[in-house]
C-alpha cells in the first residue's frame, strides 16, 4: 500500500475542549490503545518534555518529600518510573484512560496502583495527594476541568507539576495544509495563559512557568506522519469524508520540502511547563 493512502485518514492531533464530546474521547482512547505498542519507540519529544518537568520540579527549591503522588495521564509509565525512583517510599497512583497504556506502565512500575479513568473526573477522594504530576495529558482534555480536579484531590501545601501544550503546535503542518482543504490538521486548545491566570486567581503560588518550542526533524513526510501516529496523536475534531488523492499528497510533500532544514523536515511542539503550590 502506498504511503499516502496509509496516512490519508490519519491527520495529526486535535483537541476537544469539553468532556461532553463523548465520541471524540472514545476515538482518542482508541488511538492511544492502538499506539501502546509503538509509543515508547517514537516518544522522544514526550520524554524530553517529561524530563524537563522533573528538572524544573527539582530546581524549585521546595521541600520535596511527597507521601502520595498522582500521575494523571501516565501513558506507558515513563514519568511514573522517574517518580518511583526519586521517591520510592511514596504511594504512587497511576491513572490513564487507555487500558493498553496502563498495561505497559504496569511492567515499568511495580507496586503501584493503576486506575483506568478520565483525568477530568478522577475517581479519588478529596485531598489524598501531596504531589500531582501530569506530563502531556491535559491537551487531550478540558484544562479547566483538570485543574478543578487538582484542587479537589491535592491537599493543602501540595505541589502541582504539569506539562502540556500551547496554541502554536505543528505550525509547519498548518502551513503546508493551508489551501489544500478546510479541515484543521493541528492541535487546537485554549491559550495556556488562561490556565496560568486560573492558578493565580485561585491563590496558588506559581513556581515555574515556561513555554518553548520543542522541535524534531524527519527525513520525509511519511516518516514525520508515522511518528505522530506512533504516539497516538492522530485524532481530529472533524474527519475528512474521503482520503487525500495521490496528487494531493504529492503537493503536500512538495510544500513541506520548502521548509526543509539541514537536519530534515521540521515539526514543532509548543510545550508548556507549570509548577505551582497551593
The CATH number linked to 60 is 3.40.50.150
pLDDT at residue 140, as a whole number: 86
Which of 8-12, 13-17, 77-81, 173-177 has maximum average pLDDT? 77-81
Domain limits at 160?
A: 3-277
Contact assessment for residue 158 and residue 68, using Cβ atoms and an 8 Å cutoff: no
- The span from the CA of 87 to the CA of 236, in Å, is 38
What are the backbone angles phi and psi of residue 24, rounded to the nearest 5°?
-65, -45
pTM higher than 0.75: yes
Per-residue pLDDT band at 37 (split at 50, 70, 90): confident
pLDDT tens sequence across 160-170: 999 999 998 88
pLDDT tens sequence across 232-277: 665 544 455 556 788 888 988 999 999 999 999 999 999 999 999 9
Averaged confidence pLDDT in the chain: 84
For residue 85, the Cα-to-chain-centroid distance in whole angstroms is: 22
Q: Is 85 left (phi over 0), alpha (psi -120 to 50) or beta?
A: alpha
Contact assessment for residue 44 and residue 232, using Cβ atoms and an 8 Å cutoff: no
How far from each other are the two terminal CA atoms of the chain, in whole angstroms?
A: 54
Contact assessment for residue 97 and residue 116, using Cβ atoms and an 8 Å cutoff: yes
Find residue 278's DSSP bridge partners.
none
Residue 247 CB coordination number (10 Å): 9
Residue entry with cell 502531556: 136
Q: Is the pLDDT of residue 12 over 80?
A: no
Find residue 270's DSSP bridge partners.
213
pLDDT tens sequence across 126-139: 989 999 999 999 98
Per-residue pLDDT, averaged over 196-206, amounts to 94
Q: What is the DSSP letter of 132?
A: E
Q: Quote the number of domains for the chain.
A: 1
Distinct helix (H) and strand (E) counts, the chain: 11, 7
Amino acid at each position: 500500500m502506498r504511503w499516502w493512502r496509509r496516512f490519508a485518514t490519519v491527520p495529526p492531533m486535535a483537541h476537544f475542549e469539553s468532556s461532553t464530546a463523548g465520541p471524540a474521547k472514545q476515538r482518542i482512547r482508541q488511538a492511544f490503545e492502538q499506539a501502546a505498542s509503538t509509543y515508547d519507540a517514537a516518544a522522544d519529544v514526550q520524554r524530553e518534555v517529561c524530563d524537563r518537568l522533573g528538572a524544573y520540579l527539582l530546581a524549585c527549591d521546595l521541600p520535596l518529600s511527597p507521601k502520595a503522588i498522582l500521575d494523571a495521564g501516565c501513558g506507558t509509565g515513563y514519568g511514573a518510573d522517574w517518580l518511583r525512583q526519586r521517591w520510592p517510599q511514596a504511594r504512587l497512583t497511576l491513572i490513564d484512560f487507555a487500558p493498553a497504556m496502563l498495561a505497559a506502565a504496569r511492567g515499568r512500575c511495580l507496586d503501584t496502583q493503576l486506575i483506568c479513568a478520565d483525568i477530568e473526573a478522577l475517581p479519588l477522594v478529596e485531598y489524598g495527594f501531596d504531589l500531582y504530576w501530569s506530563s502531556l495529558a491535559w491537551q487531550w482534555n478540558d484544562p479547566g476541568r483538570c485543574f478543578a480536579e487538582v484542587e479537589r484531590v491535592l491537599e493543602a501545601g501540595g505541589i502541582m507539576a504539569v506539562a502540556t501544550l500551547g496554541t502554536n503546535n505543528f505550525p509547519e503542518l498548518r502551513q503546508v495544509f493551508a489551501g489544500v482543504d478546510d479541515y484543521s490538521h493541528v492541535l487546537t486548545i485554549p491559550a495556556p495563559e488562561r490556565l496560568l491566570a486560573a492558578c493565580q486567581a485561585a491563590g496558588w503560588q506559581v513556581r515555574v512557568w515556561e513555554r518553548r518550542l520543542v522541535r524534531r526533524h524527519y527525513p520525509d513526510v511519511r516518516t514525520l506522519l508515522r511518528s505522530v501516529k506512533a504516539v497516538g496523536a492522530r485524532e481530529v475534531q472533524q474527519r475528512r469524508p474521503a482520503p487525500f488523492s495521490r496528487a494531493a499528497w504529492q503537493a503536500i510533500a512538495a510544500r513541506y520540502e520548502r521548509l526543509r532544514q539541514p537536519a530534515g523536515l521540521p515539526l514543532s511542539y509548543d510545550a508548556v511547563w507549570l509548577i505551582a503550590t497551593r
